[in-house]
Structure formats: structure tokens, C-alpha cells
Structure 1
Amino acid sequence: MQEVEFKLELSQSGARSLLKNAPFVSPPTILQQKSIYFDTNAWDLAKRGLSFRIRGSGNQRMQTVKASDGAAAGSFVREEWEQPLIADAPVIDDPQIAALLAGAGPQLVPLFEVHVTRHRWNVTASEAQIEVCLDIGKVVAADREAPLCEIELERKAGQPAALFDLARKIDLITPARLGVLSKRERGYRLLAAAQGAVKASPAPLTSKMSATTAFARTAAVCIRQFRLNEMALSWSRDAEVLHQVRVALRRLRSLFSICKSLFQHSRFDHLREELAWLAAETGQARNIDVLIDRARDEELAARLKAMRGDAYRALEATLSSARVRSLMIDVDEFISNWMTAGAMPMHGPSARNFASTALDRLWKKVSCGHRLIDEDDAARHRLRIAAKKLRYAAEFFEPLYRRKIEMKRHRRFIAAMAGLQDRLGDLNDLAVAPDMLSSLGLLGMAGTEDLFRAYDKAELLRRAAEAHETLVDNKVFWRSR
């Protein structure tokens, strides 16, 4: 069977507030649950995207095996198999499960446990039937543990919109952030080294799916990257974490721009505008991080570090705001309208045909008619933006081009794109430096003249022109036949 659920994260105080002011008619059913998660010592199941757990409540035991599609943000879509047990020991007598585990069954050991008090409601909202589960507890792995507080909404019947309307009602009672981590992932993260910046990962795309499904899966991966780095930023003001927050937003905005022809309505445009606003809100803190890395004057460095604290506090307030929480729910609802667990009947163009056409359009903007040395800063900035979209599109759609020659050309293409982006980025830093310093009230301050002194514009222009020529000389990977 297929399970679809929407997850939100709450604080402990937020959970208490929700229990006190729950917008549900009936009182909850309360269960004490312990879930034991199994894997091999080498984490073979985790590497294949599988989850194996035994959940107990009272005298009842249920073994569950789940296979994730790897694309989920707040909305999770998974295949699962359940089997009642009489003890906390794995039973692998189902041929389908045995085949799924691929010989790992005899090597399974308990890795971590999840202990929760579950409050469960069955809710009727807008003629839809929704199961609501609020879990409060902890994840325990070896000698480490972490608190857990999340609410899952699962639509049993009715329109999907009711699920997200209920999520918004919950957020009005207590701040609720989009959840992107399963309980299984929380356990593995607790066993691993401390989590830092999370880089972009590929979406599970196939050439058989529609372009809209490819959009949804790719957008979900972008949202997941954003939320994981946003979570890390809440306990670590690490410059690389903030950079990856911005990368996730840039990738998501680029995806919306690339796929705008698929969605001709005002809601899509509104989401694009809100994502642009959020990306802009992250700019000042990132600019200060860049300047601190370059500052050599002690007084200037001290001034920048003080400003950095203020900028990060302002950003943290923005990220925790109702506007951002609402935006994440809105984006996830939009994504979920097109998300499937696998290939779906075609809605519009196929993913590969759409990708090839989009890449052609972006390639034309980047490859044709540029004389980098003679153009002005504004023209080079436009080229930089076009190049960024082209590179993101090449990364988004890479899983659709898996022939050997396509993969080989893709690696060369991405390397050439990275070289051009680096050179254009250096030129852009030099061009915007006066405005950046002015916006921070630093223009003319001692030491600022050294921040960009290493840049020789003539040399940067020469290198950018060479990088552009190298890119243009590459054969494109999406037209290899």
C-alpha cells in the first residue's frame, strides 16, 4: 500500500499549547510507543533508502518495512509493508521482503530506538478524513539522545487541500515548521558525526515521468536542502551553512523560472515572488561573511563581526516568522499536487523532452554573442544569472541523461560551467563592492580599500573570456544523438 503524510515540527512548549487548544472536536487517543530500528552494522538498508522497524505499544508489535523515493520534503510518499509480531525480533518470511532486503536479513541488529507518547485524533475537515498524530518523546542511540516533537497529518479520504488547511490552523495556534526528517533519519543522524552544511543532491527523476512530476520531485529536494540547513543554522552560525541556505533558495527559484511555462496561474507567480523576498533577506548576513573572510584591518574586522551578530539575529527572526512558515507550507502544497511515488500518466510534455527544450533555450542565452571584455557590468551580470540557471538546469535534469556519452559530456559541461561561474562571480563582486560597502555604512572606512584589491579587472576579464570560450567549445550533453 502507499502512505502519504504531511509532517510539521513543533517545540515542546508548542506541543503543550496545541494539546491545550487543539482545533479537534474529540479528545485524543493516547498511546505509549517504542520503535526499534534495525539495520546492518554497515547501514546497508539506509544506503538503499530502506527502513526496518518494530513498533510496540502495550502487548502489540508491528514490523514495518518502508522504501522511500528520496524526494520528500514535508509530504512523504513511501511504499510500506506491515506484519504483526509477538516479540521484538525481526521476522523475514515474506518473499517480497526478503528480496527487498537482498540478503541483509540475517545481519540485522538494533541500531536505535524512538520513544514517544502519541496523541491521535481522527478529524473531519472540509469533507476530508484526516488522521492526526502528535508525537512527543526522544530518539535514543547508544549513549546519545535527542528530543522529538512532531505532528503528522495523513489524509484518509477527501481532497488534499484539507490537509494543508489543517496545517495552517495548527500553525496559527503554535509555530509549526515543515518537517523533512523521518524518525529513521533522526536516529541515523544521532549516530553519525555532528551535521553541518548540507549540499544539494539529485532528485529521483526518470525519462518516463511527466515534466510536472520532475518539477515536483526536484522542488522537494530543494526544499529539503533549505530546511536541513535552516535547522543547522539555528544552532550554528556557520558561514557555509548560510551559504547552503542561499544555494537551496537559488536552486528553487531557478527551478521555478525554468518551469514557469508549465504553470500559468497566479499562485505559481506568488510563490516565485515570496521565494525572491526570502532569498533577499539572507543577503546581508552572507555579504558580511564574505567581507570578514577578506578583511585584514583589525578595526574593520571587529566592526564586521559585530555587524554579523546583528545580521544573523535579524535573519533568524525572519526564518522563524509566520510568513516563512506559511511559505513553506504553501510551496509544499503546490509540490504535493504533482508528486507521485513513481511514474504517472503524462500531464503535458515528458520530463526529458521538456528538459532538452529548456536546456536549449538557456544554452542560447549563455553561448551566443558575448564579448565579455567589451560588455558593461550590467551585461556581464545578466550573463552570470543566465549561466547560473543553465548550470542548475544541467544538474536538475542530469538523471534524465544516463547514456555513457551523455554522462561523459555532462561531467565536462559542469566543469566548464563551474569555471565560467567562478570568473563571472569575481567580476560581479568587484562591480557591486561599492554598493555593498555603502549599504553596510562602511564605504571609505580604513581597510575597505584592501577588500577587493586582489582583483585586477583586466585579468579577470581575460580569464572570464577564456572560460566562456572553453564552455562554448564543449559539446552539449542533452543533444548527443
Structure 2
Amino acid sequence: MQETELKLELLQSGARSLLKKNPFGSPPIILQQTSIYFDTPGWDLSKRGLSLRIRQSGNERIQTVKAGDGVAAGSFTREEWERPVAGDTPILDDPQIRDLLADAGPKLAALFEVHVKRHRWNVSDQDATIEVALDLGKVVAADREAPLCEIEFEKKAGSPKALFALARKVDLITPTHVGVLSKAERGYHLLGTAPGAVKAASTPLTSEMSAATAFAHIAAACLKQFRLNETVLGWSRDAEALHQARVSLRRLRSLCSICKSLFHDSRFDHLREELKWLASEFGDARNIDVMIDRASSEALSSRLHNARDDAYAAVETSLSSVRARSLMIDATEWISIRDWRTDQSSDTLHEQSARDFASGVFDKFWKKVVKGGNNLIDADDETRHKLRIAAKKLRYAAEFFEPLYKSKAEAKRHRRFIEAMEDLQDQLGSLNDLATAPDMLAALWLSDVASAKDLYSAEDKSKLLKDAAEAHDALVNTRRFWR
């Protein structure tokens, strides 16, 4: 059986407001639920994208096994297998479940529990039937616990678009954010180290995937990385979390640019512009963090830290805005439903293999990077900036589609290619920091502060130009992994 659901996170106060206004047309059914999650000591199920729980609601116990790829953002489509059980011990006598869990059975143990008060409604909207579940409670793992407040919309019948229409209706009543963690993932996080900044991870892709399917998987992973880092920023002004949140948005924008030939959809340009806006909201805070690391005087460092407080406050305001929340819902819907084309002209391209599509992308941006790096030392700042953008897209594309190049020789060439790309990007990034520092300092009224000019000295630029030119030559001489 397959389930399709959309998850939103909200505050406890927001849940109370929602219960008071109750936009779902009937009183809720209220249930007390306790779920016990099982895995091996080495978390073998989690590593394979599986979860196993026994949930007690009243006198009923239901065992559920779920399978997913672990990269979904907000909208989950997963296979699940359910059966009633008599106690709190998993029953694995079903052949399909036994094969799915492989040899994990004898080593399974209870790892954590989820206790919630569930408010449940069944909502009908034209041809759609949706089960709504508002859960308030906690996740308990060993001696740790964390609060839980989320609302899930599960499609029982009809179009999945109804899930998003209902989500927007709820967001008008109380602020919500697209949820990216399942209850199982929350439990595993609680068992691990304290959450911090989340870097991009490789997205599972297969050679059988079409270009459109690969895009959807990678885009969902970008959204998930953003939301995880946004959550960290909710309780800490962590410089690395801010950087990674910004990176995730830039990766998603680059992915859309790289794959724009797939789309004949009026929403595409709007979403790209909104992603550009949100990424730009992080710019001042990130630039100030970079300058703080390079500041050579106490006076400049102190002034920059004051400016940092204001910049982070502005980021927090943007993230809590209706515009940002709506963007996340819109992007999640667009990525997960995949109704991107308005005509049949792109059918062939949509069904093109992801690997063939990726090779064409690499060829395109490789030519731009090779050509753009000619006479790098004598080029102006704008030309180097264009090279930096092309190099960034090529690097991101190489990371996005890396799982499609798995032979030993391809993997070896890919590692060397990424290393050469990283070196070039580091030099171009430092040159860009030098180029933008004077305007940034002027905007902050810091141009006359002692040691401010040390942030963009001519001597530094001369060395960086030489290093960038050498890095470009090394990249050009690196063997391409896709040909």
C-alpha cells in the first residue's frame, strides 16, 4: 500500500489557535497514541530507509513498516505495510516483510517512543478525501525527550493538490513550516548528537531514472537541507547553518537553471525568482560572517559583530514571513506533483535517461568554464563573476548527478574533477569577496574604521589572481569523468 501525505510543523500556541477555529467542518476525534520504534543496535533499518513501529491507540495495536528514500521534503509518498498485533513485539511472519527486513529480525530492539494526543478529521473537498491529524506530544529516547507539534494531511482519494490547498488554509490561521522529518527520523536525531548545520548529501539516483524523476529527487533533497538548517537557525544564530541554508537555496536555483529545458510551466520562473529573493535575504549576514573571520582589528571586529546582530534579525524576519512560508509550500507542491509541462513537446526530454541528460549539461557548462577562464588575470571583475557562476553550476551538476557515474574509473575521475573544481571555486570566491568588500563596508558605514582596507588589499588580489589562473589550468587538464 502507498501513502501520500504532506506534513507541516507549527507551534503549540498555533495548534491551540487551530483547534479553537477548527476549519475542518466537524469536531475532531481525539486519540491518545503511543508508538514504539524498533531497529537493530547498528540502525540497519534506518540506513536502508525503513522504519518499523508498533502504535497503540486505545486497545488496538498496529504494526507498520514504512519504506522511503529519506530525502523527501514535506510531501511524502511511501510504501507501507500494516497489520494488527497483540503486544509490543514485532511479528515478521509475512514473507514480504521478512524479505524486506532481511536479517534484522533477531537483533531488533525498541529504540525510542512517540507519545501524542492526536486530533483527527476526515475532510472532503470536491473529489478529494483527506485525513487530517494534528499531533501534540513528545519524542522520548533514553533519557532525552523533545516536544512534537505537527499536522499531517494524508490523501485517501482524489488529487494530491487538495493537500496543498488545505495546507495554505491552515497557514492563514497560524504560521506553519513544511515538515521534513518523519517521527522516526526525529527519534533517531534525538539518539544522536545535538543537531547542527546540515551539508548537502548525495541523493540516491539510479541509471533507470528519467531526467524528470532525477530532478524531483534532487530538488526535494535541496528543500530538505534548507528546512533542516532553517530549524537550526530557529534556536541559534549559527554561522555555518546560515551558510548551508543559503547554499541549499543556491543549489536549488542552480538545479532549476541546469534543468530548465524540462519545464514548460508558468510557475517555473516565479519560483526561481522567489528562491532568488530568499537566498538574497541571507547575503548580508553571510558577507559579515566572512569579514569577521578576516577582521584584523578589535574595533572593526566589534562593529561587524553589531552589524551581524542586525543582519541575523533581518534573516529571522524574512524566514518567518508569509512570503517565505508560502514559497516553501509552493515549491514542495511543484516538485512533488510534477505537472510541469503544458504541452507534449517536452515528453521526449522528460523521458530521456538522467545520465544522458546530465552528460549534455556537463558539456554545456564545461565549455563555458573553459572559455571563461581565458586571460583570467587580465579579465575584469564582471567577467570573473560570470566564470564563477558557470563554475558553480558545473560543480553543483557534478555533485547532483554523481551517483549515476559509479564505475571504478568514473568514480576516480569524478573525485579528481571535484577537487579541481573546489580549488578553482575557492580562488574565485575569495576574489569575489575582495571585489564586494568595499561596497559592503560602505553600506555598513565602516569604510573608515581602522584596518577596514585590509579586507581588500591589492597584494591579496594579485596573489589570488595568480592562484585562480593556475587552478583554472589544472581543471582544464583534468580528465572529464562523463566522457
Tell me, in whole angstroms, the C-alpha distance in 2 between the residues paired with 1:267 and 1:131.
28
Secondary structure in 2 aligned to 1:202? coil
Instruction: Using the TM superposition, give the Cα deviation of residue 349 of structure 1 relative to its aligned residue in structure 2, in angstroms.
Output: 2.1
Do residues 308 (structure 1) and 311 (structure 2) align?
no
Secondary structure in 2 aligned to 1:149? strand
- More displaced, 141-150 or 363-372? 363-372
Instruction: Using the TM superposition, give the Cα deviation of residue 455 of structure 1 relative to its aligned residue in structure 2, in angstroms.
Output: 5.2
1:341-390 CA-partner distances (Å, limit 9, x unpaired): xxx99844221121111111111100126210121111011000100000
Tell me, in whole angstroms, the C-alpha distance in 1 between the residues paired with 2:7 and 2:60.
25
Q: What amino acid sits opposite 1:284 in the alignment? A: D
Shift of the 336–345 alpha-carbon distance from structure 1 to 2, 3 Å rule, reads farther
User: Which residue of structure 2 aligns with residue 334 of structure 1?
Assistant: 334
Do residues 8 (structure 1) and 8 (structure 2) align?
yes
- More displaced, 83-92 or 326-335? 83-92
Do residues 417 (structure 1) and 421 (structure 2) align?
yes
Secondary structure in 1 aligned to 2:19? helix
Do residues 353 (structure 1) and 374 (structure 2) align?
no
Q: What amino acid sits opposite 1:244 in the alignment? A: Q
Instruction: Using the TM superposition, give the Cα deviation of residue 453 of structure 1 relative to its aligned residue in structure 2, in angstroms.
Output: 4.1
Tell me, in whole angstroms, the C-alpha distance in 2 between the residues paired with 1:401 and 1:27.
53
Instruction: Using the TM superposition, give the Cα deviation of residue 215 of structure 1 relative to its aligned residue in structure 2, in angstroms.
Output: 0.9
Secondary structure in 2 aligned to 1:25? coil
Secondary structure in 1 aligned to 2:368? helix
Contact 2:199-2:225 within 8 A present in 1 as well: yes
Tell me, in whole angstroms, the C-alpha distance in 2 between the residues paired with 1:110 and 1:447.
58
Q: Which of 398, 403, 406 is equivalent to 1:402?
A: 406
Secondary structure in 2 aligned to 1:66? strand
Contact 2:369-2:387 within 8 A present in 1 as well: yes
User: Which residue of structure 1 aligns with residue 466 of structure 2?
Assistant: 462
Instruction: Using the TM superposition, give the Cα deviation of residue 427 of structure 1 relative to its aligned residue in structure 2, in angstroms.
Output: 1.2
Contact 1:6-1:154 within 8 A present in 2 as well: yes
1:415-449 CA-partner distances (Å, limit 9, x unpaired): 10001001111111111111111122211222202
Q: Which of 373, 379, 384 is equivalent to 1:375?
A: 379
Instruction: Using the TM superposition, give the Cα deviation of residue 231 of structure 1 relative to its aligned residue in structure 2, in angstroms.
Output: 0.1
Secondary structure in 1 aligned to 2:124? strand
Secondary structure in 1 aligned to 2:30? strand
Tell me, in whole angstroms, the C-alpha distance in 2 between the residues paired with 1:235 and 1:454.
40
**Identical aligned pairs, as a percentage?**
69
Tell me, in whole angstroms, the C-alpha distance in 1 between the residues paired with 2:429 and 2:350.
38
Tell me, in whole angstroms, the C-alpha distance in 2 between the residues paired with 1:416 and 1:178.
36
Across the aligned residues of Structure 1 and Structure 2, the Cα RMSD in angstroms comes to 1.6
User: Which residue of structure 1 aligns with residue 223 of structure 2?
Assistant: 223
Do residues 391 (structure 1) and 399 (structure 2) align?
no
Tell me, in whole angstroms, the C-alpha distance in 2 between the residues paired with 1:246 and 1:256.
16
1:56-114 CA-partner distances (Å, limit 9, x unpaired): 01111111111112220001121111111010111111222222222111111111100
User: Which residue of structure 2 aligns with residue 23 of structure 1?
Assistant: 23
1:313-367 CA-partner distances (Å, limit 9, x unpaired): 111111011100000000000001239xxxx998442211211111111111001
User: Which residue of structure 1 aligns with residue 344 of structure 2?
Assistant: none
User: Which residue of structure 2 aligns with residue 318 of structure 1?
Assistant: 318
User: Which residue of structure 1 aligns with residue 366 of structure 2?
Assistant: 363
Unaligned runs of 5+ in 1: none
User: Which residue of structure 1 aligns with residue 478 of structure 2?
Assistant: 474
Tell me, in whole angstroms, the C-alpha distance in 1 between the residues paired with 2:158 and 2:94.
33
Tell me, in whole angstroms, the C-alpha distance in 2 between the residues paired with 1:415 and 1:301.
32
Secondary structure in 2 aligned to 1:122? strand
Contact 1:69-1:77 within 8 A present in 2 as well: no
Secondary structure in 1 aligned to 2:138? strand
Tell me, in whole angstroms, the C-alpha distance in 2 between the residues paired with 1:160 and 1:43.
32
User: Which residue of structure 1 aligns with residue 432 of structure 2?
Assistant: 428
Contact 1:18-1:174 within 8 A present in 2 as well: yes
Contact 1:409-1:475 within 8 A present in 2 as well: yes
Contact 2:434-2:455 within 8 A present in 1 as well: no
Instruction: Using the TM superposition, give the Cα deviation of residue 296 of structure 1 relative to its aligned residue in structure 2, in angstroms.
Output: 2.3
- More displaced, 360-369 or 345-354? 345-354
Q: Which of 442, 445, 450 is equivalent to 1:446?
A: 450
1:202-224 CA-partner distances (Å, limit 9, x unpaired): 22212212211111110000000
Q: What amino acid sits opposite 1:13 in the alignment? A: S
- More displaced, 100-109 or 212-221? 100-109
Tell me, in whole angstroms, the C-alpha distance in 1 between the residues paired with 2:206 and 2:348.
13
Secondary structure in 2 aligned to 1:168? helix
User: Which residue of structure 2 aligns with residue 60 of structure 1?
Assistant: 60
Q: What amino acid sits opposite 1:197 in the alignment? A: A
Shift of the 108–234 alpha-carbon distance from structure 1 to 2, 3 Å rule, reads same
Tell me, in whole angstroms, the C-alpha distance in 2 between the residues paired with 1:209 and 1:106.
35
Tell me, in whole angstroms, the C-alpha distance in 1 between the residues paired with 2:136 and 2:96.
33
Tell me, in whole angstroms, the C-alpha distance in 1 between the residues paired with 2:419 and 2:296.
32
Secondary structure in 1 aligned to 2:235? coil
Tell me, in whole angstroms, the C-alpha distance in 2 between the residues paired with 1:19 and 1:81.
31
- More displaced, 121-130 or 215-224? 121-130
Secondary structure in 1 aligned to 2:456? coil
Contact 2:438-2:456 within 8 A present in 1 as well: no
Tell me, in whole angstroms, the C-alpha distance in 2 between the residues paired with 1:454 and 1:54.
65
Tell me, in whole angstroms, the C-alpha distance in 1 between the residues paired with 2:223 and 2:302.
35
Q: Which runs of 4+ in 1 moved over 4 A?
A: none
- More displaced, 169-178 or 431-440? 431-440
1:254-305 CA-partner distances (Å, limit 9, x unpaired): 0011111111232100000000000100011111111111112112211111
Instruction: Using the TM superposition, give the Cα deviation of residue 451 of structure 1 relative to its aligned residue in structure 2, in angstroms.
Output: 2.5
Instruction: Using the TM superposition, give the Cα deviation of residue 166 of structure 1 relative to its aligned residue in structure 2, in angstroms.
Output: 0.7
1:142-173 CA-partner distances (Å, limit 9, x unpaired): 11111100001111111222111110000000
Tell me, in whole angstroms, the C-alpha distance in 1 between the residues paired with 2:459 and 2:215.
39
Q: What amino acid sits opposite 2:148 in the alignment? A: L
Q: State the TM-score, normalized to the length of structure 2.
A: 0.96
Tell me the number of residue pairs that the alignment of Structure 1 and Structure 2 aligns.
475
Tell me, in whole angstroms, the C-alpha distance in 1 between the residues paired with 2:457 and 2:349.
54
- More displaced, 385-394 or 201-210? 201-210
Tell me, in whole angstroms, the C-alpha distance in 1 between the residues paired with 2:295 and 2:198.
27
Tell me, in whole angstroms, the C-alpha distance in 2 between the residues paired with 1:292 and 1:433.
12
Contact 1:70-1:204 within 8 A present in 2 as well: no
